[in-house]
Amino acid sequence: MQIFFPKEEAHEIRATILPEVAKKFIDLGIEVSVESGLGDNVFVSDELYKQSGASICSSSEEGFQGADVVCKINKPTSDEIKLLKKDTIYISFLDPFNEKQIVSELASANVSSISMELVPRITRAQKMDALSSQANLAGYAAVIEASRTLTKSFPMMMTAAGTISPARVFVVGVGVAGLQAIATAKRLGARVEAFDTRPVVEEQVKSLGGKFVKIDIGETEETDQGYAKELTPEQIKMQQEGMKKICSQSDVIITTAQVFGRPAPRIITEDMVSAMQPGSVIVDMAVSTGGNVEGSKNDEYVFKDGVTIIGMSNLPGEVAKDASQVFGSNLFNMIEEFWDKENKVINFDLEDEILKGCVITHQGSIVNESVK
């Protein structure tokens, strides 16, 4: 069996795999090929991939022709799908709820596709959870970007000229990204507050040294995967009212609120932005799914009433080498879990809880119930 790792599109800094993980695949008995230049953005040469045992393809077309499995970080283009052989296994983030056309094309091409963001949140699948591993790094990168943009320091400082007060950071949404944002801001010395619609995360916030903000918005729920369920318009209004004062006092706001498979909720209004002090910074981590902040734009810095609104869709790419390392490890763990060592094939058992959750297309059909 041969697995191919093509280069990503020009805007993507991360590489799908690094040489040390490529070697793990080879040790399983899998032939590994990578497109020339795959690791250029993270300063990993073709020669290092060769030393791991991988072969180098001069073009993606060459790699697709011989591949039984193709792995990328981002969804395939229509042109790439046309290059895939029948019964190829394609693994990447697919965004299947919003990319219906791509899903349909994969099914029509008789490609078995796995969407990494749909790996179920169960103990057995934690080692494959690429969504969480990338979100962890994104939470870190969001705070670092905010600290770079903010015109004051994060920690309290005692100087001969007087005391500099710590920056006030408010994190909205306490999932994987939010927790890492809290931890990073605290390590930098900021005063951190956080809010989530799920009261159960209060202890996690406190364990990291943050203060949990309580806002009564009525009954809230979470999915069986641990994600917050979508709020009603009335609940969002109550949340906004409860957050107004905290936002006006914050130097930095990090928003991470997303509803799985749906557009991100609009949480921070223009009025809330205008109430912030000039020089304040907002990082909208949900900008690629519609944004939590009114006025945020994908991959742009927006300046509104003296406030900088940062909308970076690829925050993990700011720490691209680490993001590449963990994504490749997630892929390896996925394939190793279902690898038949004797026959040297992937055991594609759709009754398995993990594959049932993340396989989107198989044998010419869309098989995932949540995507149909």
**Residues carrying an active site annotation:** 121, 126, 129, 132, 227
Euclidean distance between CA atoms 285 and 356, whole angstroms? 29
- Give, as one character, the DSSP assignment of residue 362: E
Euclidean distance between CA atoms 147 and 363, whole angstroms? 49
Closest CA to 117 of 137, 140, 151, 94: 94
CA-to-CA dists, residue 177 to 19, 170, 254, 286, angstroms: 27, 13, 10, 11
Q: Per residue in 257-293, is it b (16+ CB within 10 Å) or e — as a string?
A: bbbbbeebbbbbbeebbebbeeebbbbbbbbbbbbbb
3-class DSSP assignment, residue 135: helix
- The neighbouring-strand residues paired with 192 are 169
Place of tokens 């283009």: 77
- The neighbouring-strand residues paired with 32 are 3
User: Which residues are CB-contacts of 25 (< 8 A; sequence separation ≥ 6)?
Assistant: 3, 32, 332, 335
Closest CA to 208 of 226, 195, 192: 192
**Half-sphere exposure of 44 toward its Cβ, with a 13 Å CA cutoff?**
27
Inter-residue contact 303 to 312 (CB < 8 Å) = no
